[in-house]
Amino acid sequence: MESIEIHRTADMKDLKRPVIIVGFPGTGLVGSVAAAHLIDALGMKLGGYITSKEFAPLAAIHDYTPMPAARIHFSEKHNIILIISEMTIPISLSKELADKILGMAASLKASSIISLGGIALKQGEREVYVVTTDLAIVKDMMKKRLAKPIKEGATTGVTGVMLAKGTLIKFPVIAFLAEASEEYLDPAAASNVLKVLSKFLNTPIDTSRLDREARELTKGLKESIIKSKISKKGPTASEGGGMYG
């Protein structure tokens, strides 16, 4: 029995073969952070929400307003539909949700689906990778050096199912995966994936706020590391350790 329902609160009739962008939590929360930023950067309107009895009982709060954690936004100006989730999708629902998104894409005559996400950070690198059902896109990405294609590997969850089914039904599904930290929210990775998306869609996306947050996070992490080292080292005579309790 199906448990996921997509509720559309706007008809989005003025969209013509739109691009559907998907951003869900994952490594570094890249997908959710990038999608949330995109809503503000492109001035997207609320167009619906997604429910399931298996979803966590929570509401997302933005600009003082509580709203469903899994939502649909859209922009007629940019011809984009965005599906965002600010909660983890249960792995048991991956197939059903992927089918629902592909079905929505078919009903709206979407041109493609683009999933934004993160991939485990390699030491010192900040690459963005691409996996797609369309080999022509892989070649174009390599030519323009926008993202590195993944030749061998695996991807899981909703994105993995959409990629596999997209290949079978010959529908363009693209995943942009930015290298991100597995330990904390990574605005730098979200910025990197949006920069690639911006060039791919030829749509300006201002990522300056994410870049600023990334710098502040880096500074905060460095300070935490220094404090941690001092704490582990313990006080010494030259450091004026606590003689009097």
d(CA 120, CA 190): 13
Residue 96 φ then ψ, to 5°: -65, -45
Q: For the CA atoms of the chain, what is the radius of gyration?
A: 20
Per-domain boundaries in the chain: 4-207
CATH of 4-207, one of 3.30.360.10, 3.40.190.10, 3.40.630.30, 3.40.50.10900: 3.40.50.10900
Q: Determine how many CB atoms are found less than 10 A away from the CB of residue 45.
A: 14
From first to last of its 245 residues, the chain has per-residue pLDDT tens of 679 999 999 989 899 999 999 999 999 999 999 999 999 999 999 999 999 999 999 999 988 999 999 999 999 999 999 999 999 999 999 999 999 999 999 999 999 999 999 998 776 678 999 999 999 989 988 888 899 999 898 888 999 999 999 999 999 999 999 999 888 889 999 999 999 999 999 999 999 999 998 888 766 654 444 443 434 344 333 333 332 22
> pTM of this prediction?
0.87
How far is the C-alpha of 227 from the C-alpha of 68, rounded, in Å?
39
What pLDDT, on a 0 to 100 scale, did the predictor assign at position 221?
53
